[in-house]
Amino acid sequence: MALILGIESSCDETAAAVIDSNGTTLAARIVAQRIASQDDAHRPYGGVVPEIAARAHVEVLGPMVGAVLADAGLTLDDMDAIAATAGPGLIGGVMVGLVTAKALAMAADKPLVAVNHLEGHALSPRLADPALHYPYLLLLVSGGHCQILEVAGVGQYRRLATTIDDALGEAFDKTAKILGLGYPGGPAVERLAREGDPKAVPLPRPLVGSGEVHFSFAGLKSAVMRAKEARVVLRQAQDERGLAQDERMTGGHLDQEPARPEPVEGRQRYADADIAASFQQAALDCVVDRTRIALGAATPGMTALVVAGGVAANAALRGALEALAAQHGLPLIAPPPKLCTDNAAMIGWAGAERFALGYVDALDVAARPRWPLDANAAPVRGAGVKG
């Protein structure tokens, strides 16, 4: 059996895990894992501060590796290889994890496996579900990435779509910021959305129906900002006075009435829960539209529609994709929510898959702030293209 120590430090989670690649269930595969979130350190700034993140990784990682090995009842000598995220991500944090892994590999004379963080997400559904086989169509939705890829095997990725501006998780985080929900935003938006009406606020669905394969969320974010500031007039008042200016600005479905508005100077504000629910619905409509196009364009023979990355923890997204996959006669495979957000088990697992194929790295392997899964993918228009 192969025992792999996995290390993750590319953003704001410090994590370490011991993976047994021969386990036949998820429980058997993750021998031990620990995660330290830095949420409290970054919360005052409303987002991840790279310097704070790197320093926190330095403080936490060393003792955490010792603790996770103790949890597993194993030592470094028992490991077959040491895997660490080598990018993409915040370079200071990536370096902390990678240098730690190099030091451990050198001290214990173990092979090093440099893992692409995105490959960790991409293969995490195989860690969770031993019955998932290549090739599969992957929707990878995280704080920094929003892509649809064919996954044909380890290191074999064909990108069908990416975002031309914001990532999906970024759109959730920015919506959370606009609504004053704090950091991290995605789970808070999802919670609040459960209390709101997804039809209450008319929001655009950028590019839906256009046949465009790539994602765009910047316009939706701006519309959320305008909805938050808007004072809207109820339908009765509109009939007398004509359409309210603010409603026209938000665009979209002008025949919809705002639900449960709070009175403000004669006009009304949309309830935050309604904005959250309407945003989430609009974002999911975009994702389903683009994923449907990708399912049509994919190479025949995909075994499943798979969703991974932090936003895959979102229950509404999983529900929408399940319906879409069923329409195409495919199962939807999504890792348990805890394996969707950043963790070291997925890095250990990707390391195990690479190690099994003989992919090991030299101790001078470099940390990479950018590292696309499909290096051959054609560039797309837009200034903020992410991988």
The half-sphere exposure of 328 on its side-chain side, counting CA atoms within 13 A, is 24
Residue 319, SS3 per DSSP? helix
Going by the DSSP 8-state scheme, the letter that residue 311 receives in this structure is G
The size of the interface with ligand KG4 (CB under 6 A), counted in residues, is 19
Which of ligand KG4, Zn ion, none is residue 197 near (CB under 5 to 8 Å by kind)? none
Q: Which range binds ligand KG4 by CB under 6 A, 42-50, 137-145, 249-257, 363-371?
A: 137-145
**Helix axes 315-327 and 272-297, enclosed angle (nearest 10):** 30
Nearer to ligand KG4, 11 or 64 (CB): 11
Q: What are 200's two structure tokens?
A: 């209450």
Q: Of residues 309, 348, 372, 387, which one binds ligand KG4 by CB under 6 A?
A: 309
Using alpha carbons only, give the angle 377, 141, 366 rounded to the nearest 5 degrees. 60
Select from 285, 332, 282, 289 the least CA-distant residue to 312.
332
CB 134, CB 357: distance < 8 Å: no
Q: Which range binds ligand KG4 by CB under 6 A, 92-100, 157-165, 184-192, 263-271?
A: 184-192
- Per rule CB under 6 A, is residue 169 in the interface with ligand KG4? yes
The Cβ of residue 254 has, within 10 Å, a number of other Cβ atoms equal to 12
Q: Of residues 33, 38, 100, 142, which one binds Zn ion by CB under 5 A?
A: 142
Residue 367, SS3 per DSSP? coil
| Element counts in the chain: helices (H) and strands (E) | 14, 12
Phi-psi region of 309 (alpha: psi -120 to 50; beta: other; left: phi over 0): left
Q: Of residues 87, 111, 125, 143, which one binds ligand KG4 by CB under 6 A?
A: 143
**Helix axes 345-356 and 117-128, enclosed angle (nearest 10):** 90
Per-position x/- string for 2-21, each x denoting binding to ligand KG4 as judged by CB under 6 A, each - no binding:
---------x----------
Which of Zn ion, ligand KG4, none is residue 87 near (CB under 5 to 8 Å by kind)? none
- Per rule CB under 5 A, is residue 250 in the interface with Zn ion? no
- Per rule CB under 6 A, is residue 88 in the interface with ligand KG4? no
Restricting to residues 315-344, name those near Zn ion by CB under 5 A. Answer: 342
Nearer to Zn ion, 100 or 142 (CB): 142
Smallest gap from residue 337 Cβ to ligand KG4 (A)? 7
Rounded Cα distance between 101 and 18, Å, is 13
Smallest gap from residue 281 Cβ to ligand KG4 (A)? 13
Residues forming contacts to ligand KG4 in the complex (CB under 6 A) are 11, 142-144, 169, 172-173, 184-187, 190, 309-311, 313-314, 341-342
Residues forming contacts to Zn ion in the complex (CB under 5 A) are 142, 342
